[in-house]
Structure 1
Amino acid sequence: MSDLQLVNDRLNALINNLSAPARKEMARTIAKKLRASQQQNIKRQQASDGTPFKPRKAQPIRSKKGRVKREMFAKLRTVKYMKVQATSDEAVVEFTGRVQRMVRVHHYGLRDRPSRNRSEIQYEPRPLMGINQSNLNLIGDIVIDSLSS
């Protein structure tokens, strides 16, 4: 057995020694911190690995002149659409309701119709959610703080 597996088993044993409400509170804290991290990534218009989102496509010639003044996904990063769920076994950050479909299209770069009367458009992949090394370090810190208290 590798050393990493041994550490993982001992850490799981320590976490399982916590009471169910304590584990749930730890999971809720982790989910809230991850949501804040994802909201910041969306605000900065970048994926979790730091690469910037692909810019919007240029509008057709006949459309209005001027630049688009609002940023992409401004409403999606609000608490109304990014919900946190926590149980004693898991922490979940997810998009809710009707926006899940739109998020899936943009996250994976799928084809979709922007409105009923328009033709399908191939969207650029813009990963809205993801885990990076700083998130993993944050989760580790929260787990250590929960175990030490």
Structure 2
Amino acid sequence: MAGTQNRNSPMSDDLKTLEQWASVLLAQLDPAQRRKVNLQVAQDLRRSQQQRIKTQMTPEGIAYTARKPRKDLRGKKGRIKRQKAAMFNKLRTNTHLKVKEDGNEIAVGFFGRVARIARVHQFGLGDRVAKDGPEVRYAERRLLGFSTADRETIQDALLKHIKS
């Protein structure tokens, strides 16, 4: 999910530590309980990713790079469009930001055709605006990733489930 992290970065080390800590706790659960807690964690993560995308922030808390201004601001009969819609409104819905899980793993991300759009923005790649349009290099806008709050959410969900 957070594929832009350097393997030697502090965040990568934190995730590795969290994974080791969680795997010990999850090993104590039977498969049905493990699946239940995995699904709950995945849903919590998806919700937090959706909220963060809604606020137009990266996992590090930095605002997304603004869109480039469009040249065709005139609509019908000379009116000027003034709406400023947030980026990725449709992309952050449950329809596109999905949870996939099996007995041992969970994944929160974009799958299928929308994954290409998300990947272009996540890594700041080039793509065509329209089918036969010009090639445009998009700014890097990290849609998915782990924040400190996400790691705490995972820990809290696991501890809550084990206590009950």
Shorter-chain TM-score tier: 0.7 to 0.9
Aligned residue number for residue 107 of structure 1? 122
Aligned residue number for residue 39 of structure 1? 50
Aligned residue number for residue 66 of structure 2? 55
Secondary structure of the 1:46 match is coil
Q: Is 1:140 matched with 2:155?
A: yes
Aligned residue number for residue 107 of structure 2? 92
Following superposition, the deviation at residue 13 of structure 1 comes to: 3.7
Asked whether the 8 Å contact 1:15–1:147 carries over to 2, the reply is no
The answer for unaligned runs of 5 or more in structure 2 is: 1-17, 75-79
Following superposition, the deviation at residue 10 of structure 1 comes to: 7.3
TM-superposition CA deviations, 1:7-59 (whole Å, max 9, x none): 98676344212100100111100000000000001110111111000110011
Following superposition, the deviation at residue 116 of structure 1 comes to: 1.7
Q: Which of 51, 69, 76 is matched with 2:91 structurally?
A: 76
Partners of 2:19 and 2:39 in 1: CA distance: 21
Asked whether the 8 Å contact 1:106–1:124 carries over to 2, the reply is yes
Give the TM-score normalised by structure 1: 0.87
Report the CA distance shift for 1:44/1:89 in structure 2 as closer, same or farther (over 3 A): same
Partners of 2:20 and 2:57 in 1: CA distance: 35
Asked whether the 8 Å contact 2:45–2:108 carries over to 1, the reply is yes
The answer for unaligned runs of 5 or more in structure 1 is: 1-6
**When the two structures are aligned, how many residues end up with a matched partner?**
143
Partners of 1:56 and 1:18 in 2: CA distance: 47
Aligned residue number for residue 19 of structure 1? 30
CA RMSD between the two structures: 2.1
TM-superposition CA deviations, 1:61-98 (whole Å, max 9, x none): x5524434321100011111011122221111111321
| Runs of 4+ that moved beyond 4 A | 7-11
Asked whether the 8 Å contact 2:22–2:158 carries over to 1, the reply is no
Identity percentage of aligned residues: 34
Give the TM-score normalised by structure 2: 0.79
